[in-house]
Amino acid sequence: MRYVDEYRDAAAVRRVADAIRAAVTRPWRIMQVCGGQTHAIVRFGIDELLPREVELLHGPGCPVCVTPVELIHRAIAIAARPGVVLCSFGDMMRVPGSDRDLFAAKAAGADVRVVYRPLDALTVAASEPTRDVVFFAVGFETTAPATAMAVHEAARRRLANFSLLVSHVLVPPAIEAILGAPECRVDGFLAAGHVGAVMGGDQYVPLAARHRVPIVITGFEPLDLLEGIHRCVLQLEQGRAEVENQYARAVRASGNETARAMIERVFAVTPRTWRGIGPIPASGLRLREAYAAFDAELRFDVAGVGGREPDECRSGLVLQGRIKPPECPAFRVRCTPERPLGAAMVSSEGACAAYHRYRRSESAWRPTST
């Protein structure tokens, strides 16, 4: 068992696709809220295996894509201060602000470094005590345990030259916002397996009940995705609206309690603005008062720094499942990975990047139904 190839077996995948075809009697729209799943769907052509009745919509499952423009400008403003080292995940480097990105800041002389893990930023802080090391903390519930541990360790080791620019966001409030929108067209959800691994399946139970919508926690491999879709279609056909766990090999009902306890210790829930979508109540994490000394927004007094989303970018509609990337007039014309209008074209989890990278032909995707 390697936990990869077994879930890419073509015969097994086709069998589940046939079972979906046998089960479906009417049109259903199923949204996934995970950039990793979006990329797997487009890469493996999962949507092309489905009957016409089942449409997959890509939701706001990319934390880099939803990081608001003002935070990118705050990161750039902090990086420009003398003595600062700004550490960021590589995905954030090319995300366009109003007029520039972190790469441009680096080219202009700022010390901006790519790290793979928040603890790497802490290592920089420990080895360069005369520098102010700031970690640009972007991510969903999956990354929050790593960020929380970095802060906790910084406090324990008294690393006063370490701080965080926090842009953490939470998935269930985003699902709630999509379901609450008057133009909502989603019948069921595939919830991200790794968010479930941290937070558990139980957190979705009130959402499923309140909105009468099936939510299936699903893995990332082709067989996982098709099983998740099959479970969701069965629920819809049978008129059920329950939380199901397709990804039981990694997800327990209460999640990872050790990781959740650390998140709870370091962070408090806060309202956040999602790029392309707008403000969503209680949809993010901020540092608790006990850790306020590590808050880069306070330390560098950048709360007033703002920014504007580029007008032509329609990734907000893409992130809400209202259009697919090729339906944007700028897609592949005025918006490419080399010259992006928005984050979704450059993030490794962005839907626009997935369609640009993996689409084999123009006919391989289905326009969004209305």
Partner 1 sequence: MCLAIPGEIRSVHGGELRTGRVAFGEVVREVCLAYVPEAAVGDFVVVHAGFAIARLDRAEAERTLVYLDEAAAALEAERGPPARDREPR
Which stretches of the chain bind partner 1, using CB under 8 A? 1, 3-4, 6-7, 11-12, 14-16, 18-19, 22, 35-36, 40, 63-64, 89, 91, 116-120, 138-139, 142-143, 145-147, 149, 153, 194, 197-198, 219-221, 223-224, 227, 230, 234, 246, 248-251, 256, 258-259, 262, 349
In the bound state with partner 1, the residue whose beta carbon lies nearer, of 55 and 349, is: 349
CA 310/CA 216 separation, integer angstroms: 35
CB of 144 to partner 1, least distance (A): 9
What tokens does 187 get?
Answer: 């019948």
CA 237/CA 188 separation, integer angstroms: 11
In the chain, which ranges are continuous DSSP H helix? 10-23, 35-44, 63-66, 69-79, 102-107, 118-127, 144-156, 171-180, 193-199, 205-211, 222-238, 257-266, 296-299, 315-319, 351-358
In the bound state with partner 1, the residue whose beta carbon lies nearer, of 36 and 96, is: 36
In the bound state with partner 1, the residue whose beta carbon lies nearer, of 80 and 250, is: 250
CB of 247 to partner 1, least distance (A): 8
CB of 57 to partner 1, least distance (A): 20
The bridge status of strand 132-139 relative to strand 84-88 is parallel
In the bound state with partner 1, the residue whose beta carbon lies nearer, of 19 and 179, is: 19
CB of 343 to partner 1, least distance (A): 13
For residues 7 and 44, is the Cβ–Cβ distance under 8 A? no
In the bound state with partner 1, the residue whose beta carbon lies nearer, of 117 and 332, is: 117
How does 108-137 read in b/e, with b if 16+ C-beta sit within 10 Å? eebbbeebebbeebbebbeeeeebbbbbbb
Assign 369 to helix, strand or coil.
Answer: coil
In the bound state with partner 1, the residue whose beta carbon lies nearer, of 6 and 264, is: 6
CA 236/CA 229 separation, integer angstroms: 10
CB of 319 to partner 1, least distance (A): 16
Give the helix/strand (H/E) hosting 168: strand 162-169
What tokens does 12 get?
Answer: 């097994």
In the bound state with partner 1, the residue whose beta carbon lies nearer, of 196 and 302, is: 196
CB of 11 to partner 1, least distance (A): 5
CB of 277 to partner 1, least distance (A): 20
CB of 140 to partner 1, least distance (A): 8
In the bound state with partner 1, the residue whose beta carbon lies nearer, of 221 and 323, is: 221
The bridge status of strand 243-245 relative to strand 215-218 is parallel
Sort 308 into a burial class: Cβ within 10 Å, 0-12 / 13-18 / 19+: exposed
The Cα-based distances of 145 to 2, 3, 119, 120, 258 in angstroms read 25, 23, 11, 14, 9
Give the helix/strand (H/E) hosting 134: strand 132-139
